[in-house]
Structure 1
Amino acid sequence: MKGSTRPGTPSVITFDECDADGNPIDDGFEAILYVPPWRPNIDYDFDILCGTAVIGEKSVLGDDSTRSRVLAVTGLQTAE
């Protein structure tokens, strides 16, 4: 996946788990991330990402302790 956000515009990124053929897996991994708005005239050192994820019953990720629970997802992307 490749993309960019427009200055001043918040973005929402969604992820869905797929099989080897690219078909979505029902009740697999799903995540929604939010990228807050930013301004091009400010020298940012990082981008903040936050959101939620759910590891479904048919996902190949995780284990029984994380299945069907809403998980908080946070992260930083540092400037190069």
Structure 2
Amino acid sequence: MAQLIPDYIKVDRSTMLQAVSSEKFRWFLKHLLPALRMYSTEGVSAEGIETEKELRVVKDIGIYLVQGFLLGRPQELKQKNQGQSKVD
């Protein structure tokens, strides 16, 4: 397990909601991010962003990879050719 290094580390919605509601936790998460970035190869992302306030908090603590309903609803994948396993 110690040899597994993730491409991305995701900060889940419940963690982001805690950062929105608690300035103390927001400070903690902001200062934890450099260590998380050093451990992952690509970076840190926040998931479950649904409001402008949540997006502002995410930007304030320094996370710039985000996903959530605010940015777009999930969409059905459309394959060009049947049997293709790769999504373009």
TM range (shorter): under 0.3
TM-score (norm 1): 0.25
Name the structure where strand makes up a greater proportion of residues: 1
Name the structure where helix makes up a greater proportion of residues: 2
TM-score (norm 2): 0.24
